[in-house]
Structure 1
Amino acid sequence: MMDGVEQLSAEEAGAFSAGTLATIACCLCGTAIPPNPSNMCASCLRAQVDITEGIPKALAIYYCRNCGRYLQPPKAWIAADLESPELLTLCIKRLKGLSRVKLVDAGFRWTEPHSRRIHVRLTIQKEVFARTILQQEFIVEYTVQYQQCDACKRDAAKIAAWQAVVQARQKVDHKRTFYYLEQLLLKHGTHQDALGIKETGDGIDFYFANRSHAVKLLAFLGDVVPLRHKSSEHLVTHDTHSNSYNYKYSFSAEIAPVCRDDLVVLPPKLSASMGGIGPLVLVSRVSSAMSLVDPTAVQTTDLPAAAFWKTPFSPLMTSRQLTEYTVLDVETTGETSGKFAAAEVTVARSSDLGVNDSTVLVRSHLGHVLHIGDLVSGYDISNAVYNDSLLTGHKASFELPDVVLVRKTYPRRNRARGRKWRLARMAVEMADDDARVARGGAGARDPATRDAEEREGFLQDLEQDAELRAHVNLYRADGATGGEGADGGAEETAMTDADVPAGAGGDADEEDDDEYPEVPIEELLDALDLSKGRDAEGVEGEGDGAEEGAGTAGQ
């Protein structure tokens, strides 16, 4: 003993300095182990506690042999090679219970490619006792089962196996309504159940495998446009032994032939029932109801779809008859109604400037946006040809004004190449040229040129109208390309500059107008990702890719 401390032997001192710890016996098997809170060795601990409990060891994943993609529930189909990171991610996401443990490592264990088995090796950790973490490795077996994806089903069906069809029609000489409907359908995904979509002369046909899908689309259309419909059914087969019937259902949906910016004369009874507004009014917005504004009295009202179909009417003049005017003077009167303000506006036809001194004094509802020097679109009623029968029944004192101003406009430019945003497109089987020419009427221009100009007009409407953009998904142009996607289905494709010819929309001058409204960058979504047939938000494409999409234009 030295100073009360026991003298250690040389061997004991070496063991102490090397950090040798005391051991204990495992409470179950008696094996010498370092002390731990469970007092059990690793083998006994694994035997007593299974941290993989609740994690399935066998699952099924679905594979489409036609397009080589795997199902990622609930609806997405992704392309992945064997033993690829994408397939590993898909397999791990299918496992339930991993949130309760810590995933340390994951990888594939080799299997025969033709075995239809995928083995994934997982290493997980979990704290089983206080300061006792158990790590365990196990294998999950995935059985690959064959299932045809929706896109391949539609390809195989070739629209011949449809059970229900929705035939949307609008008796107008343009496709503005259908351009707008296209964007609404893409935004809400209502078209995803369609076997195929086919354009006709004055509308679009949607084919479905189930009647319920057609009814769902019909209900959606009724919520966004003034619509009336009727249905019919055709008996295809009848089994007398089992008393079973097979029908094909047709739904004819007629959209009101009145669009945004149309000039209408309300029937006398309808005008009286709406508080005496008009009867000459402008259509400022069309949804499930029509928003009307009296440009002279600066009054606004909404016309429900049911009231329109009870007393239907046609427009006196449409947006194809708009004339460009230049504002020479503006004097507001102080009267307002909603966003509109009354003003006395002096205008002259832009084509008459420098030719004659003809001017017109107009009372307009656009006092809140017009300034001296602005361009404005309006109807030149004094020189127009219209249907006089639409005025039948009104008092003899009712006279049409010489000019009705509709909306502020901007100098014509080809803005397609400088546009920093794009729209998604639906893949539609295009109508033949004869039907497209018939829609344009006698003396119509080339259908492709007319469609491109109409679409460019719709894009400019989106740029100028923030309320209209609020219902449409706009995507950043970076990385957006048109064309067919990878899944071979009805692809949602991005709009490209090739969709608009160099001369579309007016002069080829591409100089920017400082006053021309720009789409704020915060309103744009991420660019479309077409590499796997879906956009940046994971919306999957639908059917064969196409160069042209079904049109829908801003109402």
Structure 2
Amino acid sequence: MGSFAATFLPAQLRSCCLCGVSILPNAASMCVNCLQGQEDITRDIKKQIHISWCKGCQRYLQPPNHWMHAEPESRELLTFCIKRVTGLNKVKLVDAGFIWTEPHSMRLKTKLTIQKEVHGAILQQVLVAFVVEYVVERHMCTACNRQNANPNSWIACVQLRQHVTHKRTFFYLEQLILKHGADENCVNIKNIHNGVDFYFGSRAHACKFIDFLQSVVPLRYRHDKQLVSHTIHTSEYNYKYTFSAEIAPICKDDLVCLPAKTALGLGNLGPVVLVTRVTSAITLTDPQTMRSASLEAGQYWRAPFRPLMHARQAVEFVVLDCEPVQSSHGGGYNHGGRWQLAEATVAKAADLGANDKVSITRTHLGHLLKAGDTAAGYDLSSANVADDALDRALAAGLAPPEIVLVRKSYEEKRRRRAAAGARRAWKLKRLDGVEAGEEDEGGRGARRAAAEADAAAADMERFLEELEEDPDMRSRVAVYRDAEAAAATAARAPAAAADSEDEEDDDVPGIPLEELLEDLVAMQIGEDGTQGDELLDDISGMQLG
């Protein structure tokens, strides 16, 4: 064996031409250490780069004219910085990360590990030795420049209106806008009576916003333009564009009477039906049979109708008895088994002890209601309703139900919880920088302004309750954990546990903790490499140049 080693190994090994260490043969006849000393694989890579940053909107310039948002030391910012490094297309990027710098230094530093094949040997640059520095220069973006030069400067305006007596639709729409970032191009937002005005720096941004609105609410709009200036020498025209958008005045929990043609197009639904969901289409449900149908926005605007009664006209009923009945339609018709048909014996809460009038009605809330519960509903027998479609239905012999139950009511239980000091463990974000319109700034009187503020607060509270009661609606918005409320709840936990023995409020709907999002989600890339694998997966498929 010794003779074999003596004859075989010297034939395969060579000595390094510089240090004499035995190495495998390669084209350079040098070991890796000597190659690292002779070859600098980072010489073609730029070590200092200037990047532009807007102080107003906290965005970075992605050449030639795109501005992007990126949190400090985030994966998005690291990807943006690596793409700005020239010369990386000649090497292989192995690892990347940020080096901490003083926030006010206007410097960003990244440490990069690269590989390159030199004369048949793979060289890896030392991690600490290769640092790229980014000089952050302040440059105001076009939108901030225009806004600072003239705060009222805008190119396109979307005037969004809904002619109803409450603001719940706009509260819901506000959450959708925040979740999908549809307000990122807004120059200004103003609250106007019956609606909101959104201002944009270009017509394309306004059109994109209109497309978003059409995907979430039943909307129709018209647009117009006004000439601002005209240069006769270059034939350049400057216009201001206005989009007048109207949301259908149909909201969740409204009671409507369908016109004859609309009801026929929906398979003879109703005609008196309940609105159970509003998205880009309106979902209508017959509480007597649990049949449901979707009314598209185009169908509605071809034959528009107004609600018979809305949520503010609902009264409280006490459920005396509730017995499930078998539906003749087998529980289908687009509600997916979420409801159960039942026959309920109810009485108005205001009539108990006065006339003891009892009514029997069918409801789709059989899975929720039991004897002793309270429910919100509409009393058509005593309502003063003027509607042409309802008059035609009565003339045709179609008698609507006298009582229509809308939802189970938890008002008394919520009132007891509020009196005990309980708070919601969650919160919603609101749009920043919303200004009051000219109609909201004065000229109406303090009493009327206070009344509208109280009504808006009541609408907001009802919207929050809807989020707790409707998981489908809640799944379309972003709900965040409230750390202050959680701390307050933990502080009063012993007292709450003592009171819970006498209270029967366990069935009050709430939002599970697993559905809540953290208020601040920061993705950090630390020196321990906790997220290095995820980052390298994104970097490995990126074309660098």
TM-score by length of 1: 0.73
Shift of 1:148: 1.7
**For the structure 1 residues 329 and 43, does the alpha-carbon distance in structure 2 shift closer, same or farther, using more than 3 Å as the test?**
closer
**For the structure 1 residues 384 and 438, does the alpha-carbon distance in structure 2 shift closer, same or farther, using more than 3 Å as the test?**
farther
**For the structure 1 residues 418 and 353, does the alpha-carbon distance in structure 2 shift closer, same or farther, using more than 3 Å as the test?**
same
Query: Could you say what secondary structure the match of 2:350 adopts?
Result: helix
Counterpart in 2 of 1:376? 375
Assess if the C-alpha contact under 8 Å between 2:275 and 2:283 holds in 1: yes
Q: Which residue, 464, 469, 475 being the options, matches 1:470?
A: 475
Counterpart in 2 of 1:100? 93
Gaps of 5+ in 2: 1-13, 490-501, 523-545
More divergent stretch after superposition (406-415 vs 322-331): 406-415
Provide the rounded CA distance (Å) in 2 between the counterparts of 1:260 and 1:244. Answer: 47
Query: Could you say what secondary structure the match of 1:168 adopts?
Result: strand
More divergent stretch after superposition (428-437 vs 395-404): 428-437
Provide the rounded CA distance (Å) in 2 between the counterparts of 1:92 and 1:474. Answer: 34
Provide the rounded CA distance (Å) in 1 between the counterparts of 2:442 and 2:408. Answer: 31
* 1:147 matched to 2:139: yes
Provide the rounded CA distance (Å) in 1 between the counterparts of 2:131 and 2:448. Answer: 71
Provide the rounded CA distance (Å) in 1 between the counterparts of 2:204 and 2:266. Answer: 37
Counterpart in 1 of 2:261? 269
Shift of 1:296: 2.0
Assess if the C-alpha contact under 8 Å between 1:298 and 1:342 holds in 2: yes
Counterpart in 1 of 2:408? 408
Counterpart in 2 of 1:324? 316
Q: Which amino acid aligns with 2:47?
A: K
Provide the rounded CA distance (Å) in 2 between the counterparts of 1:131 and 1:378. Answer: 77
Shift of 1:456: 1.1
**Number of residue pairs matched?**
467
Shift of 1:35: 4.0
Assess if the C-alpha contact under 8 Å between 1:171 and 1:202 holds in 2: yes
Counterpart in 2 of 1:448? 453
More helix by share: 2
Provide the rounded CA distance (Å) in 1 between the counterparts of 2:315 and 2:93. Answer: 68
Which residues of 2 match residues 66-81 of structure 1 at below 5 A?
A: 71=60, 75-76=68-69
Counterpart in 1 of 2:325? 333
Provide the rounded CA distance (Å) in 2 between the counterparts of 1:297 and 1:347. Answer: 18
Counterpart in 1 of 2:126? 135
Shift of 1:381: 1.6
* 1:61 matched to 2:58: no
Q: Which residue, 279, 285, 292 being the options, matches 1:300?
A: 292
Query: Could you say what secondary structure the match of 2:368 adopts?
Result: coil
Shift of 1:277: 1.4
Provide the rounded CA distance (Å) in 2 between the counterparts of 1:351 and 1:251. Answer: 46
Provide the rounded CA distance (Å) in 2 between the counterparts of 1:179 and 1:525. Answer: 19
Q: Which amino acid aligns with 1:462?
A: L
Query: Could you say what secondary structure the match of 1:424 adopts?
Result: coil
Shift of 1:36: 4.5
Provide the rounded CA distance (Å) in 2 between the counterparts of 1:354 and 1:518. Answer: 33
Counterpart in 2 of 1:502? none
Provide the rounded CA distance (Å) in 1 between the counterparts of 2:42 and 2:126. Answer: 10
Query: Could you say what secondary structure the match of 2:282 adopts?
Result: strand
Which residues of 2 match residues 233-312 of structure 1 at below 5 A?
A: 233-312=225-304
Assess if the C-alpha contact under 8 Å between 1:165 and 1:207 holds in 2: yes
Gaps of 5+ in 1: 1-23, 81-85, 482-495, 498-509, 531-555
| Seq. identity, % | 42
Shift of 1:33: 4.8
Shift of 1:353: 3.2
Shift of 1:213: 0.6
Shift of 1:275: 2.1
Q: Which amino acid aligns with 1:350?
A: A
Q: Which amino acid aligns with 1:429?
A: V
**For the structure 1 residues 469 and 437, does the alpha-carbon distance in structure 2 shift closer, same or farther, using more than 3 Å as the test?**
farther
Provide the rounded CA distance (Å) in 1 between the counterparts of 2:108 and 2:312. Answer: 64
More divergent stretch after superposition (264-273 vs 242-251): 264-273
Assess if the C-alpha contact under 8 Å between 2:423 and 2:485 holds in 1: no
Shift of 1:246: 0.5
Provide the rounded CA distance (Å) in 1 between the counterparts of 2:230 and 2:385. Answer: 53
Instruction: Give the alignment's Cα RMSD to 1 decimal.
Output: 4.0
Query: 1:74-107 deviations in whole A, cap 9, x for unaligned?
Result: 6225579xxxxx9999867865749724569968
Q: Which residue, 178, 182, 205 being the options, matches 1:190?
A: 182
Provide the rounded CA distance (Å) in 2 between the counterparts of 1:148 and 1:53. Answer: 33
Query: Could you say what secondary structure the match of 2:292 adopts?
Result: strand
Assess if the C-alpha contact under 8 Å between 2:32 and 2:121 holds in 1: no
Provide the rounded CA distance (Å) in 2 between the counterparts of 1:107 and 1:529. Answer: 19
Shift of 1:521: 1.6
Provide the rounded CA distance (Å) in 1 between the counterparts of 2:479 and 2:381. Answer: 40
Shift of 1:287: 1.1
Provide the rounded CA distance (Å) in 1 between the counterparts of 2:461 and 2:22. Answer: 77
Shift of 1:383: 2.1
Query: Could you say what secondary structure the match of 2:483 adopts?
Result: coil
TM-score by length of 2: 0.74
* 1:353 matched to 2:352: yes
Provide the rounded CA distance (Å) in 2 between the counterparts of 1:284 and 1:105. Answer: 50
Assess if the C-alpha contact under 8 Å between 2:36 and 2:123 holds in 1: no
Shift of 1:71: 2.7
Query: Could you say what secondary structure the match of 2:308 adopts?
Result: coil
Query: 1:289-310 deviations in whole A, cap 9, x for unaligned?
Result: 1111112233211111111111
Query: Could you say what secondary structure the match of 2:42 adopts?
Result: coil
Assess if the C-alpha contact under 8 Å between 2:427 and 2:481 holds in 1: yes
